[in-house]
Amino acid sequence: MSKSYVTSERRGLLFALSSPSGAGKTTLARRLLEAESEELLLSVSVTTRPIRPGETDGKDYWFVAEPTFIGMRDAGEFLEWAQVFGNYYGTPRKQVEDAVSAGQDVLFDVDWQGGRQLAENVPDDVVRVFILPPSALVLEARLRARNQDSADVVALRMAQASGEISHWIEYDYVIVNENIDSSFEQLRVVLAAERLKRTRRTALTGLVEQLQRDLGERFRT
């Protein structure tokens, strides 16, 4: 009797989104998590930046003091880490590795430094998407509309946006976020296609071998 294989079995992937501040990356990430709640897990980063209104420790970030972060970094506990606008951010290694091995996809909201480190450390598992704004004026308007940063911080983010955007060429996919609904649909298409890659579908080898055995037994020449 032929063995039955679950062809949906696969290795998880790391889905990394990057963009300059204000391009819409975080909004897209939240929508993707809502739509893919059963298969997509948010990577919760450790950070030294102050907690913002509405954020929850352990849900949005793990908020720690700088000496604690440095100790974790030096102990090799981060899969990637970066310093952005004077604050440290890092991804705990173990929780991500365990999730991927179990077939769980993990979503990353990271800057280009984090995206590059992921590509260097886990090149076979990471998929990187860069989100571009349609114009500098739109980017500035979105930053001001957030009402999260002072005018000086907004000016600093705008000044550094060009340098961040220069790394778009390192990414697997690029989405110009002119319309959030359209960009969201494009993002889901990318995720769906990457889940079907042969190298991630761990059950296919067994299925193909079984098909060949069955065909050889039934249709011998």
Q: Is residue 142 part of a domain?
A: yes
Name which of 93, 128, 90 is nearest 107 in CA terms.
128
The CB density around residue 11, as the number of other CB atoms within 10 Å, is: 17
C-alpha 43/C-alpha 105 separation (Å) is 10
Question: Which pLDDT score, from 0 to 100, does residue 19 have?
Answer: 92
How many alpha carbons lie under 13 Å from residue 173 in its C-beta half-sphere?
18
**In this structure, what CATH number is given to the domain that contains residue 117?**
3.40.50.300
Q: What SS3 state is found at 82?
A: strand
C-alpha 27/C-alpha 140 separation (Å) is 16
Q: In what order do the strands lie in the sheet with 14-18?
A: 40-42, 105-109, 14-18, 126-132, 173-176
- Tokens read off for 40: 């997509």
Question: Which pLDDT score, from 0 to 100, does residue 1 have?
Answer: 40
For residue 164, pLDDT beyond 80? yes
Q: Which residues are within 8 A (CB) of 19 and not within 5 positions of it... i.e. 6 or more apart?
A: 25, 130, 131, 132, 133, 164, 177
pLDDT digits (tens, 9 = 90+) for 173-217: 999 999 999 999 999 999 999 999 999 998 898 999 999 999 988
Q: Is residue 89 part of a domain?
A: no
- Tokens read off for 24: 């819409």
DSSP assignment, residue 164?
H
Q: Is residue 190 part of a domain?
A: yes
Region 122-127: mean pLDDT is 94
Question: Which pLDDT score, from 0 to 100, does residue 221 have?
Answer: 60
Question: Which pLDDT score, from 0 to 100, does residue 41 have?
Answer: 93
pLDDT digits (tens, 9 = 90+) for 67-99: 999 999 999 999 999 888 899 999 999 989 999
The answer to whether the predicted template modeling score (pTM) of the entire model surpasses 0.95 is no
174: domain range? Answer: 14-43+104-215
Helix segments in 63-197, DSSP class H: 66-74, 93-101, 112-121, 136-146, 151-165, 180-195
Number of domains in the chain: 1
Q: Is residue 210 part of a domain?
A: yes
Q: Is residue 82 part of a domain?
A: no
Q: Is residue 140 part of a domain?
A: yes
Q: Is residue 48 part of a domain?
A: no
Q: Is residue 53 part of a domain?
A: no
